[in-house]
Structure 1
Amino acid sequence: MSGLAGFSIEALHAALTRLPRLADLSADALEPMPLKGVAHDHVRLRGRRLVARIPRWSQLGLDAWTALERQAAAFQRAEMSGHTPRFAGLLPPGDGLPLGALVVGEVEGHTPVLPDDMPAIARALAALHRMAPPDFHEPLPAPPDPVAALLAQVERQAEWFDRADLSPESRALIAEELAAARAGDLAPPRETPMPLTAVGVDVHPGNFLIDAHGKAWFTDLEKLQYGHPASDLAHASLYTSTKWDPEVNAELAPADVDAFIQAWAVAVPGDLADEVRPWMKQLRRLTWLRTLSWMARWSVEGATLSPSMPEHLRAHMDAHATDILRPERIEQVRREWR
């Protein structure tokens, strides 16, 4: 079994048994799980209610140790939300495990069914958003102006719009949206408060599991940091996200999005909900542009970013990138704030 840098199941087992609580773990207890995303492999530790989370590559462009330490901090801090897997250990990079791994608690649940499970996802996000940044937030980022930071990320990734095979119509529409985002034409008045909380960032519905009690668990904390809650609310409910995972593959109606936002609003303190509302449209545009630029990159480099993906998953990703970068789909999404 291998990822981008390659890892061996034997090396994984050896590393796991160096953890005191897993010293007696048998090799046949390791059960590779089906690949769902593009950045990690997962191996279940049968009988232990644990999962090894093995990076295939860093989506943030970090070296192996920095990426592992950041993810470990994310799992440890988010655990108090009650909606993320517990942190159980770190396996350092080494021979046969070049990017290392994390050990986290296993969550038993099913992929969300939309729109029915969107309120549960809203409550999970609310639990994260109730967490303010600590005084010492490193190694997790906490930009003082998360909106400017998100725009800067879009600017860095915008080169992929030029490198991707987009139609002239798509290029023109994206250029309009980029110009409008730079001008801040959806920004609220300058004196509007800028909330800063824990945010999951990669909160598309496929990164949640719904347990037997209907509770949503956010499972992919690679990008967790401190930022603006409105970006999470956008990413969880935009067409570009709800169609990303082939097991979710749903489109929300405007009423579904409204109900999702309302479920979140009643689960957070009233002052936080009031501070977030004025930023909804601007952050929805910026978050959408962030996703579009990432998918433009995927359309160019997908085969090299995450090799050995199952063909059905690669085909879905490729088709999704093609769909969301069509001018008709771009027009559909941007009508939300026009």
Structure 2
Amino acid sequence: MPAVPDHATLTRALRDHPRFADLGDDELRPMAVKGLAHDHFRVGTRGWVLRVPKQSQFALSAADNLCYQAACFERVSTSGHAPELAAVLPPDQRLPMGALAVREIVGRPPRLPDDLPALATAMARVHGLPVPEADARAPLADHTDAVAGALAEIEAQAAYLEVADLDPAARAEIADELAWARDFAARGSGRHQPVRLVLTDTHPGNFLIDADGRAVIVDLEKALYGSPGTDLAHATLYSSTTWDPDTHADLSVGQLGAYYRHYLEIVGPELAARIRPWLVAMRRITFLRAITWCVMWSVEHRRAARADAGASGRDWSAENTDPALIAHVADRVGEYLRPATLRRMRAEWRKAPGLDAELGD
């Protein structure tokens, strides 16, 4: 994968945009690395952040990846819960993956469970945005059948199960949930859900809480048109709330129920009535998406030192990312693929009283 350019190269590229034509030589400052797909640089004291992709997590071309991310920021920021897009620096010889400049959000990581209402409010505001006609939704993905759309991603990731080094008990847990999801999808259940602009990658570490208590999603590259239940689930699954040390929490079913009810109150009775029957099912689908991603990552990470590294268009090697971050991801992935952890996560819908009882379904 192409290396992130040095500061001098980034500075010259950013100066090509009229907003930053007077950028000083020493204004760019690297920010802490927390994600696998980007490096970030603070643009002096101007209130902007330069977001430089290292790879596409959708395995898109550099140009398509940048176009997709720009559309995410442009559309979600109208909710007031995502940074404004300032500039798009297209891919070229200096910037192989291009870059985006977005508004810097000053805030702190969410504290769970206290900030769950703020996260629910942010998602409700995004889900309340007008949805364009189908022919105007590109370049964002359009999952008019939310279950089928998610299952396509799950199946692509689940293909790695054949070569993953998994405990047989863990493999059985995943296989059981996959069988349920395939049957659920075959019944066409996803076509009956309301379609909204959704964030998709809503783990709490992707948000900041500003001075007014507003939750703002700052790592935004996977938005699409699909089921609001996906966002609600991904923000609060055990694999999300224990992913980032800054937002680590183990939520009870009661706390989850309160969070979902808060969201349903904000979106109003019409949307609440339409989405409520799908919330637990979409939680299971989102669980599968997260867990099969872990399976895929574990396999591709093992391949990273071999000749086939990067063959998928992704590179999660320590050479392309801070080794400490890679070690953290490996630790989390290992934890989530343990049989006991998989059973603990599935208990939300397999044991009574579960989340369905909290929601009154």
1:67 to 65, 68, 90: 65
Q: Which residue of 2 aligns with 1:324?
A: 336
Report the CA distance between 1:6 and its aligned residue.
3.3
List per-residue Cα deviations over 1:231-256 (Å, max 9, x = no partner). 11110000011111122222111122
Q: Which residue of 1 aligns with 2:77?
A: 79
Residue 196 of structure 2 contacts residue 225 of structure 2 at CA under 8 Å; is this kept in 1? yes
1:274 is matched by which residue type in structure 2? A
Alignment of 1:30-179 (within 5 A): 30-135=28-133, 136-179=136-179
Report the CA distance between 1:4 and its aligned residue.
4.9
List per-residue Cα deviations over 1:174-197 (Å, max 9, x = no partner). 11111111111998x969841000
Q: Which residue of 1 aligns with 2:269?
A: 270
CA distance in 1, matches of 2:210, 2:56: 28
Higher mean C-alpha deviation, range 15-24 or range 246-255: 246-255
Residue 7 of structure 1 contacts residue 96 of structure 1 at CA under 8 Å; is this kept in 2? yes
Residue 148 of structure 2 contacts residue 190 of structure 2 at CA under 8 Å; is this kept in 1? no
The TM-score with structure 2 as length reference comes to 0.89
CA distance in 1, matches of 2:274, 2:236: 20
Residue 49 of structure 1 contacts residue 105 of structure 1 at CA under 8 Å; is this kept in 2? yes
CA distance in 2, matches of 1:185, 1:146: 9
- SS of equivalent to 2:245: coil
Q: Which residue of 1 aligns with 2:8?
A: 10
CA distance in 2, matches of 1:81, 1:19: 26
1:315 aligns with 2:327: yes
Residue 8 of structure 1 contacts residue 96 of structure 1 at CA under 8 Å; is this kept in 2? no
Q: Which residue of 1 aligns with 2:205?
A: 206
Q: Which residue of 2 aligns with 1:244?
A: 243
- SS of equivalent to 1:44: strand
1:336 aligns with 2:335: no
Residue 186 of structure 1 contacts residue 281 of structure 1 at CA under 8 Å; is this kept in 2? no
The TM-score with structure 1 as length reference comes to 0.94
CA distance in 2, matches of 1:315, 1:192: 40
Residue 13 of structure 2 contacts residue 94 of structure 2 at CA under 8 Å; is this kept in 1? no
What root-mean-square deviation, in Å, do the aligned CA atoms of Structure 1 and Structure 2 show?
1.9
> Identity of aligned pairs, percent?
44
CA distance in 2, matches of 1:227, 1:42: 28
- SS of equivalent to 1:258: helix
CA distance in 1, matches of 2:26, 2:191: 57
Distance 1:190 1:60, change over 3 A: closer
CA distance in 2, matches of 1:190, 1:171: 26
Residue 133 of structure 1 contacts residue 142 of structure 1 at CA under 8 Å; is this kept in 2? no
List per-residue Cα deviations over 1:75-127 (Å, max 9, x = no partner). 11111100000010100112231100000000000111111111101111111
CA distance in 2, matches of 1:127, 1:208: 14
Distance 1:40 1:192, change over 3 A: closer
Q: Which residue of 1 aligns with 2:184?
A: 184
2:182 is matched by which residue type in structure 1? R
List per-residue Cα deviations over 1:17-65 (Å, max 9, x = no partner). 1111211110211001010111110000012100000001000110011
CA distance in 2, matches of 1:319, 1:162: 21
Residue 11 of structure 1 contacts residue 95 of structure 1 at CA under 8 Å; is this kept in 2? no
2:66 is matched by which residue type in structure 1? L
CA distance in 2, matches of 1:190, 1:330: 25
1:182 is matched by which residue type in structure 2? R
**Unaligned regions of 5+ residues in structure 2, if any?**
305-314, 351-361
Higher mean C-alpha deviation, range 54-63 or range 269-278: 269-278
